[in-house]
Amino acid sequence: MIEIDRISPVVFNSTVVTTEKKDNWEVVKEYKNEGSGPYLVDLSHKPRFDLQDSDLAAKHPFGVAIPEIPGCSVLENGILVNRMNRTQVSIYNLNGSDNEDIVDDYGITDVTESTIFVALIGKDIFSICEKLSALDFKDPKMTVPFLYQGPFSHVPCQIVTINREDNTAGLVLTCSRGYGKDMIHSILSAGEEFGLKPAGEDRFTAWIKG
């Protein structure tokens, strides 16, 4: 059986230190001179799914109960489930493996290779986001994690705030793959004054584990 290499739409102009092959993705674990944060991390190899069903209450993707209210999210055991509307949810497998329990569902669409997926983590990320979107990713009325669907750098996106506490802040963002090059350029340009640097997956893994 021929295995096809899977290519991330995200490209950083940084020197790679270590990589790892995962499910035919070449995943960068660490870049040279990553600095002390904030960081922009490519997570495009992490499996992502769209689930549509008229009875979402009966669905438990990866064993996780779907939030009842649109805009609400839940993060359990590395699985991030985001309620989009009455009949639709997005699912991000931040563990990056063990998809067998979900892909056979008739309402599931695998959107991993049709979208980009990045994380912004560390200090000043919300100041960076303010330059690119009018959405309030620190909204005190919302309980983290929570989902926004709206423009980011003028591109329709899903953005999930996972932590809004200063130096440990973090969010993940996904949009159509075709916007990858321009989106990365916009984020890095907006973050230049704050010292934003590309970072490898190891930074995200350490951050998500707290």
**pLDDT above 90 covers what percent of the chain?**
85
Contact 202, 39 (CB under 8 A): no
* Strands, sheet with 197-199, edge to edge from the N-terminal-most edge strand: 146-152, 155-163, 170-176, 115-121, 39-42, 197-199
What was the pLDDT predicted at 81? 97
In a domain, 104, yes or no: yes
Q: Does residue 32 have a pLDDT over 90?
A: yes
169 and 186 co-located in one domain: yes
57 and 160 co-located in one domain: no
The last residue of one of the domains, among 61, 87, 110, is 110
Range of the domain at 155: 16-45+114-208
158 and 182 co-located in one domain: yes
The last residue of one of the domains, among 56, 85, 110, is 110
What was the pLDDT predicted at 119? 98
151 and 174 co-located in one domain: yes
For the entire predicted model, the pTM comes to: 0.94
Q: Which two tokens stand for residue 11?
A: 């490209």
Look up the CATH number of the domain holding residue 170: 3.30.1360.120
Cα–Cα dist 148/208, whole Å: 20
140 and 91 co-located in one domain: no
Query: Which residues have a Cβ under 8 Å from the Cβ of 32 and sit 6 or more positions away?
Result: 14, 15, 16, 17
Mean pLDDT value of segment 107-121: 95
In a domain, 2, yes or no: no
pLDDT band for 62, please (50, 70, 90 cuts): confident
Give the Å distances, CA to CA, from 89 to 75, 92, 104, 170.
13, 10, 16, 21
In this predicted model, which residue has the larger pLDDT, 103 or 54?
54
Helix (H) or strand (E) holding 206: helix 201-208
Amino acid identity of residue 77, one-letter, is N
pLDDT band for 167, please (50, 70, 90 cuts): confident
**Which three-class secondary structure state does DSSP give residue 20?**
strand
What was the pLDDT predicted at 105? 67
Tell which residue, 206, 187, 197, has the closest CA to residue 132: 187
What was the pLDDT predicted at 1? 53
pLDDT band for 166, please (50, 70, 90 cuts): confident
Q: Which two tokens stand for residue 201?
A: 């997956």
Mean pLDDT value of segment 76-96: 94
